Amino acid sequence: MKLRELLAQVDGVTQLPANLAMDVEIKGLATNSHACQPGDLFIGMPGTRVDGGEFWRSAIASGAVAALVSEQIASNAEADACLIGSNNMVAACASVAAAFYDYPTKKLQMVGVTGTNGKTTTTHLIEFFLTQAHLSTALMGTLYTRWAGFEQTAAHTTPFAIELQHQLAEACLAGCKIGVMEVSSHALAQGRVKGCEFDVALFTNLTQDHLDFHKDMEDYFGAKALLFSPEYLQGKAIINIDDAYGRRLVAQVGKDRTWSYSTSDRADLWMSELKYAPTGVSGVLHTPQGDVAFQSPLVGQYNLANLLAAVGAVLQLGVDLQLIADVLPQFPGVPGRMERVQISPSQDISAIVDYAHTPDSLENLIKAARPFISGRTICVFGCGGDRDRTKRPQMGKIAAELADVAVVTSDNPRTEDPDKILQDILAGIPSEKEVLVISDRAAAIRAAIIQAQPGDGVLIAGKGHEDYQILGTEKIHFDDREQAKVALQERNFQN
């Protein structure tokens, strides 16, 4: 695409040097100066540490034909530099990305899922139902971007604008008809999804997390609510009204544009005749398109909410209700979400790896698992470094109160002192409660499993699918499931 054609579609360009070769062909887009290829347009994004625009010289040296940078950087540079200035880099970057990749979200039917917990689980359920209904679907979220024949591990829950539009365009080329994506509050606040149109937007819940990034809960809610504004949502909202923020959102969006769901009351989507078993939940699903008996392999009250949300989304996209009920028993689950680690059929303790890393999800996990554990519930958990510190004592309190044995350990300490994080967690635990504190995560998992008695359940929370641990700025290989297996083998050997 020629630079002239591209810029004609871009918002927020305020400075264009007279000498710029407008007929030059733009071959690609890059926001990282180091990743620039010959023929690229470099987009220098202001970040929290640096203004990426500062790196325009290195981008041009790598072959970029021009650079889109903040007005300030453009006006301070030499007059003959090929710098395009913008007074709104977020809008400019997003509109360049959408235009360059020819507006993929206009070609796909798009579902956006936001909320503190349940996004990954709900998007996987939606992907499963759509695929079973033979609707080719692209999934984007915390774990990966994938569609039939393609899978790439994700660096962020929601990619930045260029990667996002690029991947959606590739999904279109691969024949996908529907895009299902997790939309994080960071992405909404940073405008990563600007230029995307959603046919269905879904709100799971809002509880404490990310108060390192968002000023307060109101600010966090405001970011999530953006997805439901006319800028993004063209179709229906699907909203959890068991959540107080969800009820506020319905009032903002309007009842006529919303399908509500609830696991505790009547709503547009709700359930009755629920029967809980260790293998899942059965009952009757009530929807605006009729009622159907269901059998879900997912345990935990919160997974009923995720199921209602997913059913609402796929009904909106035309999937048949009976088909949903027919295929649901085969849902394979989500990696690292209530994932059982079993090394032999005769294993006499249960070991479960889960991604609970917020106060609400930790509480949900322990409450959901407890009825199926005949012995003690042993919970191994920690809190990530360089992230919301205020959730640490809350998670400590929850684990100490709800588990029989709490083992406090490290999650991803990142650049923080791991012992300082443990102290923050312990600050929430009443002094009379006894907890085990083992900073080394492998040793903590081992200790929990070795001390478990027949019938006990070991819940290993916080890292789920992650196959790494971030220590300082280094990422090492680490997988809770592998560590649990090693410890289970050692326990077998000892017994």
Ligand X SMILES: CC(=O)N[C@H]1[C@@H](OP(=O)(O)OP(=O)(O)OC[C@H]2O[C@@H](n3ccc(=O)[nH]c3=O)[C@H](O)[C@@H]2O)O[C@H](CO)[C@@H](O)[C@@H]1O[C@H](C)C(=O)N[C@@H](C)C(=O)N[C@H](CCC(=O)O)C(=O)O
Known binding-site positions: 33, 115-121, 157-158, 184, 190, 192, 387, 411-414, 462, 466
What is the distance between the alpha carbons of residues 172 and 271, in angstroms, rounded to a whole number? Answer: 35
CB-nearest residue to ligand X:
47
- Residue 163 contacts by C-beta under 8 Å, 6 or more apart in sequence? none
For position 122 contacting ligand X by CB under 6 A, the verdict is no
Nearer to ligand ATP, 100 or 220 (CB): 220
Phi and psi, residue 277, nearest 5°: -140, 165
List binders of ligand ATP among 171-210 (CB under 6 A): 182, 204-205
N- to C-terminal Cα separation, the chain: 68
Is residue 156 a contact point for ligand X (CB under 6 A)?
A: yes
- DSSP, collapsed to helix, strand or coil, labels residue 86 as strand
Which part of the chain contacts ligand ATP (CB under 6 A), choosing from 23-31, 148-156, 353-361, 440-448?
Answer: 353-361
Binding test (CB under 6 A) with ligand X, winner from 41, 45, 111, 398: 45
Binding site, annotated residues for meso-2,6-diaminopimelate: 387, 411-414, 462, 466
In the bound state with ligand API, the residue whose beta carbon lies nearer, of 133 and 471, is: 471
Q: Compute the least distance from the CB of residue 40 to ligand ATP, in Å.
A: 31
117 near ligand X, judged by CB under 6 A: no
Q: What is the DSSP secondary-structure string of 243-311?
A: SHHHHHHHHHH-GGGEEEE-SSS--SBEEEEEEEETTEEEEEEEETTEEEEEEE---SHHHHHHHHHHH
Distance CA 302, CA 137 (A): 25
287 is a contact residue toward ligand ATP (CB under 6 A): no
Q: Residue 10 CB, nearest distance to ligand ATP (Å)? A: 31
Q: Does 157 bind ligand X (CB under 6 A)?
A: yes
Quick one: which segment of 120-128, 277-285, 310-318, 371-379 binds Mg ion (CB under 5 A)?
120-128
Q: Using CB under 5 A, which of 70, 105, 116, 120 touches Mg ion?
A: 120
- The helix, strand and coil proportions of the chain, stated in percent and rounded to the nearest 5, come to 35, 25, 40
Choosing from 33, 86, 105, 117, the residue that interacts with ligand ATP (CB under 6 A) is 117
Q: What is the DSSP code (8-state) at residue 207?
A: -
Taking Cα atoms as reference points, which of 419, 393, 420, 422 lies closest to residue 407? 422
Interface with ligand ATP (CB under 6 A), residue from 31, 109, 137, 142? 142
Query: What tokens were used for 70?
Result: 């903040």
State the minimum distance, in angstroms, from the CB of residue 48 to ligand ATP.
20
Q: How far apart are CA 93 and CA 105, in angstroms?
A: 16
Helix (H) or strand (E) holding 163: helix 161-173
Nearest to 39 by CA among 17, 18, 13, 66: 66
Window of 136-144, 270-278, 402-410, 475-483 that interacts with Mg ion by CB under 5 A: 136-144
Residue (213 or 372) nearer to ligand X, CB:
213
C-beta closer to ligand ATP: residue 41 or 365: 365
Q: Which entry of ligand ATP, ligand X, ligand API, none binds 118, CB below 5 to 8 A by partner kind?
A: ligand ATP
120 binds, among ligand API, ligand X, Mg ion, none (CB under 5 to 8 A by kind): Mg ion
Distance CA(355)–CA(466), nearest Å, equals 9
Contact map string, positions 445 to 474, toward ligand ATP, x by CB under 6 A = -------------------x----------
Closer of 159 and 462 to ligand API (Cβ):
462
Alpha-carbon gap, residue 448 to 247, rounded angstroms: 40
186 lies in the binding site for ligand X (CB under 6 A): yes
Answer yes or no: are the C-beta atoms of 435 and 377 closer than 8 Å: no
Closer to Mg ion by CB, 209 or 268: give it: 209
Taking the C-alpha atoms of residue 58 and residue 42, their distance in angstroms, rounded to an integer, is 10
**Residues 449, 350 contacting (CB under 8 angstroms):** no
**356 vs 359: CA distance, rounded Å:** 8
- Name the residue nearer to ligand X (CB basis): 52 or 118: 52
CA–CA dist 156, 27 (Å, integer): 25
Question: From the list ligand X, ligand ATP, ligand API, none, which binds 71 (C-beta under 5 to 8 Å, kind-based)?
Answer: none
**CA separation, residue 414 to residues 156, 157, 183, 220, 427 (Å):** 16, 18, 24, 23, 20
Positions that interact with ligand ATP (CB under 6 A): 117-121, 142, 157, 182, 204-205, 302, 305-306, 337, 354-356, 360-361, 364-365, 464
Positions that interact with Mg ion (CB under 5 A): 119-120, 142
Positions that interact with ligand X (CB under 6 A): 31-34, 45, 47-50, 52, 55, 156-158, 160, 184-187, 213
